[in-house]
Amino acid sequence: METPNPKQQLNLVQQSVEQYRDQLSTAPRLVIGFSGGLDSSVLLHLIATQFANKTTALHINHGLSSNAAVWQQHCATVCAALNVEFVTRQVVVENAGNGVEDAARQARYQAFTEILTPNSLLLLAHQSSDQAETVLYRLLRGAGVKGLMGIQATRQLGLGKILRPLLELSRSQLLHYAEAQGLRWIHDESNDNNIYDRNYLRNEVMQKIQQRWPQSEAAIRRAASHCFEAQQLNDQLALLDLAQLDQQTQFDQPWLSDVYATLELDGLLNLPLLRRKNLLRYWVSQFDLTLPSTKQLENLLVVLSHLDAENHPCVSFGENEFRVYQQRLYLLKRQQPIEPIAIAAALDSAMSLPGNGCIKFYSAHGDGLKLSSEQALEIRYRAGSERCRPVGRAHSQSLKKLLQEYKIEPWVRDKIPLLFVDGCLAAVIGLWYCAEFAVQQKSTQEQATQQKIAQRETDSQAVEQQAMGVEVVWKK
Residue type at 45 in one-letter notation: H
The per-residue pLDDT for 3 is 61
pLDDT in tens, 57-85: 999 999 888 999 999 999 999 999 999 99
Distance of CA 183 to the CA centre of its chain: 37
Fold identical between 6-230 and 244-333?
no
Q: Which of 64-78, 163-177, 340-354 has the lowest mean pLDDT?
A: 340-354
The per-residue pLDDT for 457 is 43
Convert 303-337 to b/e letters by CB count within 10 Å (16 or more is b).
ebeeeeeeeeebbebeebbbbbbeebbbbbeebee
Torsion of CA 248, 254, 257, 262, to 10 degrees: -20
pLDDT in tens, 305-331: 988 867 889 999 999 999 999 999 999
Q: Which numeric CATH code is attached to 6-230?
A: 3.40.50.620
The per-residue pLDDT for 94 is 86
DSSP character string of 128-140: HHHHHHHHHHHHH
CA distance 341 to 355: 12
Q: Where are the domains of the chain?
A: 6-230, 244-333, 342-475
DSSP character string of 359-386: EEEEEEES-SB---TTS-EEEE---S--
- pLDDT at 465 exceeding the cut of 80: no
- pLDDT at 4 exceeding the cut of 90: no
Helix axis angle for 38-51 and 68-82, nearest 10°, is: 20
- pLDDT at 452 exceeding the cut of 70: no
The per-residue pLDDT for 445 is 41
The per-residue pLDDT for 441 is 59
- pLDDT at 246 exceeding the cut of 50: yes
- pLDDT at 458 exceeding the cut of 90: no
Q: What percent of the chain has pLDDT over 90?
A: 77
Q: Which of 7-16, 86-95, 217-226, 424-433 has the lowest mean pLDDT?
A: 7-16
Architecture of the domain delimited by 244-333: 2-Layer Sandwich (3.30)
Q: For residues 171-176, give the mean pLDDT.
A: 94
Confidence at 2, pLDDT banded by 50, 70, 90: low
Which residues have C-beta within 8 Å of that of residue 32, sequence separation ≥ 6? 40, 43, 44, 47, 55, 56, 57, 58, 84, 123
- pLDDT at 449 exceeding the cut of 50: no
Residue 320 pairs with which residues in a beta bridge?
A: 317, 333
- pLDDT at 451 exceeding the cut of 70: no
Q: For residues 424-446, give the mean pLDDT.
A: 81
Nearest to 285, CA basis, from 244, 246, 235: 235
Q: Which of 17-26, 87-96, 110-119, 249-258 has the lowest mean pLDDT?
A: 87-96
Q: For residues 232-241, give the mean pLDDT.
A: 98
- pLDDT at 456 exceeding the cut of 50: no
The per-residue pLDDT for 98 is 76
The per-residue pLDDT for 167 is 95
pLDDT in tens, 181-193: 999 999 999 899 9
